[in-house]
Chain A
Amino acid sequence: MSEENWIEVGATDSIEEEDLIRFDHQDKTFCVYKLTDGFYATDGICTHEAVHLEDGLVMDDEIECPMHQGIFNIKSGEALSPPACEDLKTYPVKVDNDKIFIKID
């Protein structure tokens, strides 16, 4: 676990509670969420078809895809509702000095 893998996303106040922001790094894109109990991160693209989840709706611990309402658990990435059936990849998140970092492998 080298330190280099932690990538800075932005300030903790850049995301409203129960909301998300899109974060692009190199050729990858992610969603970073602020839920009532902290920050979380997942892949940015829905596993069903190629649409970005940044335009989706965050409700409790879930993100709902804007295209066909596939639902994923933000914390585990589990696909909860069709047409999404493949899980979404999740990433560790830490907060340091009011800044959010995600660990990309």
Chain B
Amino acid sequence: MKNNIVILGGGQAGIYAAREIRQNDSKSNIKILGEENLLPYERPPLSKDFLLDKKKEEDLYFHSSDVLKNENIEFENISINKVDFENKKLFAKNDNVYSYDSLLISTGSENKKLSLDNNLKNDIYYLRNLEEAKKIKEIVSNKNKITIIGGGFIGLEIASSLSQLQKKVIVIEIGNQLMGRIIPKQIADLVQNTHIEHGNEIILNKQIEKITKKNGDYEILLNDNSLIETDFIIAGIGSTPTVKLFENTNLKLDNGIVTNQFCETSIKDVFAAGDVSNFYHPFYERNMRLESYQHAQNHGICAGKNIAGVKTEYTSIPWMWSDQFNLNLQLTGICDEYDEIIERGNDINNGVIYFFLKNNKIRGACGVGIIGKVGRDIRITSKLTEKDTIVDKQILSDQNLKLNKLIQK
């Protein structure tokens, strides 16, 4: 049967879904609607190699327009501003109307904004897309002392890149550690030390009271009355799923679009994938929302299969990374449900990993080390988690013993 399949949101999950649908369905029309006038591209380099000029715009695209053409996938640059699920229609600002038989929502997430006086709204920069990355890159070339508000992954990656561009960087974080409570404090501290060793200033436990503009520069007043002078401000204070469009519809929302393990939403023929979806994970027996590269790809592929009628459960064990200076941090599984923590290694040069266990099985792990030092072990950890293996804690805690000994073939 020939269907009209529409993908709302032309990012990573959207493009992987489109290609997967085509693999399983040669006939249907597949149309991606994306508000960025760009083919789907990778976001991770925006805060890292793109700012550092090690990657150019053309290196970021997942696929060329030829690939899309060959697979008969249409990409249209348009912003949708109204949906009618009952009549299966999407409406654009310019009065274009798009009808669908099946719809995938992959609108991603958007940055939280600081609540500030109106007259400062255009002075604070955020990083989510290529356009913003280009702007930041251009402006920082003339700035010296840059303040990052928010010590999460993206803020710290920007701080690392700007430091490598010889800028003086200050990071202000409201919490008592970097990268949020999901990261073990010990690992957050190791990352913090690396920033400090490279000359970045890290301020924890402080809130912004007020920002004032002075002769083109800024003064940031903190809640302990200290004052920071800076000539450029970037905020990375977290993100929220892009769901505004669906707020007054029947679509079930709860920290994103609620989906089951088949990427199905509460409305028939409507699917969701990637950052925007709060999905049911059958292994962990709970819902979760992830913002990660691997998840956007795999979840997109899984949605694609289900849209094409190949019923497939989403069972990927979560995984994400962050690169800062010469460190590579990786997170697998979930680290907030455990009855025991086991530490492997204590030297960042050889990698340090914290395993989170429940009933002697790994639920998740977080590791950091000089580039290359934790990847293999974290990967093996994902496999052990997935296989629900009862693990030998002696092997987990001893860096001289190889973890692959734990995999039952």
| B-binding residues in A (CB < 8 A) | 49, 51-52, 54-57, 64-69, 82-83
Contact = CB atoms under 8 A, between A and B. Distances in A.
B350 to A, nearest CB: 11
A57 B381 CA distance: 12
Nearest to B380: A57
A51 B330 CA distance: 15
Contacts of A68: 293, 321
Contacts of A56: 375-376
B371 A57 contact: no
Given A69-B319, A82-B297, A57 B62 contact: no
Interface residues of B, number: 20
B372 A55 contact: yes
A64 B382 CA distance: 13
B244 to A, nearest CB: 29
A31 B62 CA distance: 27
Nearest to B404: A57
A49 B44 CA distance: 13
A55 B44 CA distance: 22
Interface string B22-52: 0000000000000000000010100001000
* Residue among A51, A64, A66 facing the most chain B CB atoms (10 A cut-off): A66
A83 B321 CA distance: 12
Contacts of B297: 82
A66 B374 contact: yes
22 contacts: A51-B328, A51-B371, A51-B372, A55-B372, A55-B373, A57-B375, A57-B379, A64-B375, A64-B379, A66-B328, A66-B374, A66-B376, A67-B323, A67-B371, A67-B375, A68-B321, A69-B294, A69-B375, A69-B379, A82-B62, A83-B42, A83-B44
A82 B373 CA distance: 20
B321 A67 contact: yes
A52 B49 CA distance: 18
Contact of A55 (B49, B62, B323, B375): B375
Contacts of B374: 66
A56 B319 CA distance: 16
A67 to B, nearest CB: 5
Interface in B119-166: none
Mostly helix, strand, loop or mixed at chain A's interface? loop
Contacts of B404: 57
Interface string B369-403: 00111111001100000000000000000000000
Contacts of A55: 372-373, 375-376
A105 to B, nearest CB: 26
Interface in B63-85: none
A82 B376 CA distance: 17
Given A67-B328, A83-B42, A52 B375 contact: no
Nearest to B63: A85
Nearest to B372: A55
Contacts of B293: 68, 83
B71 to A, nearest CB: 16
A65 B49 contact: no
Contacts of B49: 49
Contacts of A65: 375
Interface string B336-374: 000000000000000000000000000000000001111
Interface string B78-99: 0000000000000000000000
Given A82-B297, A83-B293, A66 B375 contact: yes
Given A54-B372, A67-B328, A68-B321, 11 more contacts: A51-B328, A57-B375, A66-B328, A66-B374, A66-B379, A67-B321, A67-B371, A69-B379, A83-B42, A83-B44, A83-B293
Contact of B372 (A52, A69, A82, A83): A52
Contacts of A69: 294, 319, 375, 379
Interface string B186-217: 00000000000000000000000000000000
Given A82-B62, A83-B42, A57 B321 contact: no
A51 B42 CA distance: 19
B84 to A, nearest CB: 35
* Residue among B49, B293, B372, B380 facing the most chain A CB atoms (10 A cut-off): B372
Nearest to A18: B404
B62 to A, nearest CB: 7
Contacts of A83: 42, 44, 293
Contacts of B372: 51-52, 54-55, 66-67
